Amino acid sequence: MKYSKHLVLSVVAAVSTALAVAGASHGATVIVSGATPVVDGADVAMLNQEGVSANGKLWTDTPVLGQTFTTGGTSAWLDSITVQIGTSAPVTKTYSLRIGEISGTSLSVLATESGTQNADINAGDYMTFTLDTPVFLWSDTQYGFDVAMTNSTTGWQSGIPYLNQNTGTNYADGGGYTTGAQHIPGETINIGGYDRVFHLNLTAVEAPVLTLQVDQVTGGTTLLGHSSQDISMNYYQIASESGSLDKADWVSLADQDFEGSGEPSGFGDGWEEAGSARSGALAEAFLLGNSTIGVGQSVSLGKGFDPAVGAEDLVFTYRTDTGKIVEGLVEYVSSVPLGDANWDGVVDAADYVMLKRNFGGAPSGAGNGGDLNDDGIVDLTDLQVLAFAMEANNAGETVPEPGVLSLMVIGGLALLKRRRS
């Protein structure tokens, strides 16, 4: 395995914000309406009108105006953002919009879009930005959106749009904020004691996650891509409290030169293994870049699982290109055919011998010891499974003829009766 002593995983957290990639700017569709938005499904909103005032001046010489919010228990696509305007404002005005994940007083940008207001706004109207490209939001995560005016074809004398805001605590999972100056966002956000009047149209979806497939017989470990979406990552860890990992036979992404940059340099420009690799944890990181696991892609990580220990306690986590730490799925599979009691890859008379030796008691010996249904005892049910497998596989000369299979079951009954007497 390739290892660089310069790789220190504590650096990972410090650079996660820098690794977040802001989406390219797209064109949002802007709609002005007097109708209150309908809140349903996974939507997030603060539409309470009690104590509302038009205090958020939105002009080219003001700070950027925003609101933090927290998603619910389901991941979702953000389709549109609506804010309420408390004053009249004529056409034509252009706005820029940002969506990002919040960490303390920082917003890591996920996407930016711009849109043009082509209809006059009356006091109390709602202005909706329907995104050109929906933004994926993880469940139970704090995000923020903000809006800035970048241009107006009419002067301030004709009317300045002010965002409505509520100075109460009607929305407990976020707050209004400002950032930057002269419609240019700053590096930090300044959260105030108020909420914007807003509505976020969200479409709930199952979160796309990677799967670690583990072969309990061979020890093979494989990364499996999602069925419908590419996933980019720059760090992963496989952990086992019982020490079920095999660092010697683990074939890391660094071993494979997965990103194609050659031998690890120690400066984070490719995948590099963590120096603490052991039977309890395997990890590696790509500090200055990301690798994408494509839809349905399969990436072998060698034989990183130790079947001799065999505990099904693996925890697989990874970090996405946006800095999100995700717990992936772990899927345990068996590469042995049905009825293969000694796990030698074939169903034959040797499997019957193992069942006969352990019949009526606990499994012992190689493989599953004859416990074919994994119930902790070798009994008639296991013999029936073996008989079915032999007949179905028709494995060759070493397998009893189909006519003999029923005798195996009868023999098992006799053996069971003899051992009970």
Is pLDDT above 90 for 343? no
Does 132 lie in the same domain as 42?
yes
pLDDT at residue 346, as a whole number: 84
Does 326 lie in the same domain as 232?
yes
Is pLDDT above 70 for 162? yes
Residue with the larger pLDDT of the pair 375 and 23: 375
pLDDT at residue 392, as a whole number: 75
Does 178 lie in the same domain as 236?
no
Is pLDDT above 70 for 415? no
Does 369 lie in the same domain as 222?
no
Q: Containing domain of residue 62, as a range?
A: 34-204
In a domain, 14, yes or no: no
In a domain, 338, yes or no: no
- Identify the weakest region by mean pLDDT among 2-6, 203-207, 294-298: 2-6
Does 240 lie in the same domain as 183?
no
Measure Cα distances from 142 to 6, 303, 358 in Å.
Answer: 33, 38, 57
- Identify the weakest region by mean pLDDT among 119-123, 164-168, 340-344: 340-344
Q: Given 137, 169, 204, which residue is the final one in a domain? A: 204
DSSP class per residue in 301-315: -BS-B-TTT--S--E
Percent of the chain with pLDDT over 90: 64
Confidence of residue 58 (pLDDT cuts 50, 70, 90): very high
Q: Given 184, 204, 224, which residue is the final one in a domain? A: 204
Does 138 lie in the same domain as 187?
yes
Average pLDDT over residues 47-60: 93
pLDDT at residue 335, as a whole number: 80
In a domain, 129, yes or no: yes
Specify the pTM.
0.66
Does 218 lie in the same domain as 199?
no
CATH of the domain at 256: 2.60.40
In a domain, 93, yes or no: yes
DSSP class per residue in 48-59: --TTEEEEEE-S
182: left (phi over 0), alpha (psi -120 to 50) or beta: left
- Identify the weakest region by mean pLDDT among 34-38, 325-329, 377-381: 377-381
Average pLDDT over residues 72-99: 97
In a domain, 104, yes or no: yes
DSSP class per residue in 21-85: -PPPPEE-EEEEESSPPPP-TT-EEE---TTEEEEEE-STTS-EEEEEEE--SS-EEEEEEEEEB
In a domain, 58, yes or no: yes
Tokens for 291, please give them.
């690798």
DSSP class per residue in 210-243: -EEEEETTT--EEEE--SS--EEEEEEEEE-TT-
Residue with the larger pLDDT of the pair 52 and 420: 52
Q: Given 183, 204, 225, which residue is the final one in a domain? A: 204
Q: Which residues pair with 12 in a beta bridge?
A: none
Tokens for 128, please give them.
């909706």
User: Which of 179, 47, 171, 32 is closest to 115 using CA atoms?
Assistant: 32
Does 262 lie in the same domain as 120?
no
In a domain, 24, yes or no: no
In a domain, 341, yes or no: no
Measure Cα distances from 398 to 129, 130, 350, 392 in Å.
Answer: 71, 68, 8, 14
* Domain count across the chain: 3
User: Which of 191, 175, 200 is closest to 68 using CA atoms?
Assistant: 175
Q: What is the mean pLDDT of the chain?
A: 87
* 388 in Cβ contact with 339 (< 8 Å): yes
Does 192 lie in the same domain as 48?
yes
Tens-digit pLDDT profile for residues 231-290:
999 999 999 999 999 999 999 999 999 999 998 888 999 999 988 889 999 999 999 999
Confidence of residue 307 (pLDDT cuts 50, 70, 90): confident
Does 247 lie in the same domain as 164?
no
Confidence of residue 216 (pLDDT cuts 50, 70, 90): confident
Residue with the larger pLDDT of the pair 1 and 352: 352
DSSP class per residue in 265-287: -SSSSS-EE-TT-BTTEEEEE-T
Strands 106-117 and 26-27: parallel
